[in-house]
Amino acid sequence: MAVSKELLEILVCPQCKGDVVLTEKEDGLVCNACALEYEIRDDIPIMLIEEAKPLNPGA
């Protein structure tokens, strides 16, 4: 079971309150404004800033 469409419509980035989009593999949510990816574990989005992965770790 994947993350429901209804949940995806209401989730926002906890840092900037901007929109998040599902990754191509559907294993995370991306905030393009903050350049952060929030992992989805066991169909649960982990929306904690300290758990987010930077999209450009070397930048």
Q: What is the pLDDT of residues 11-45, one digit of tens each?
A: 999 999 999 999 999 999 999 999 999 999 998 99
Task: Give the pLDDT confidence score for residue 24 in this predicted structure.
Answer: 93
Distance, CA of 57 to CA of 28 (rounded, Å): 16
pTM above 0.95, yes or no: no
Distance, CA of 27 to CA of 9 (rounded, Å): 16
| Residues spanned by the domain of 42 | 5-54
Closest to 52 (Cα-Cα) out of 25, 26, 10, 15: 15
Question: Quick check: is 10 in a domain?
Answer: yes
Question: Quick check: is 59 in a domain?
Answer: no
19: domain CATH number is 2.20.25.10
Question: Quick check: is 12 in a domain?
Answer: yes
Question: Quick check: is 37 in a domain?
Answer: yes
Question: Quick check: is 39 in a domain?
Answer: yes
Task: Give the pLDDT confidence score for residue 4 in this predicted structure.
Answer: 85
Question: Quick check: is 14 in a domain?
Answer: yes
Specify the higher pLDDT residue, 59 or 58.
58
Q: Count up the domains in the chain and report the number.
A: 1
Asked whether the beta carbons of 59 and 50 are under 8 A apart, the reply is: no
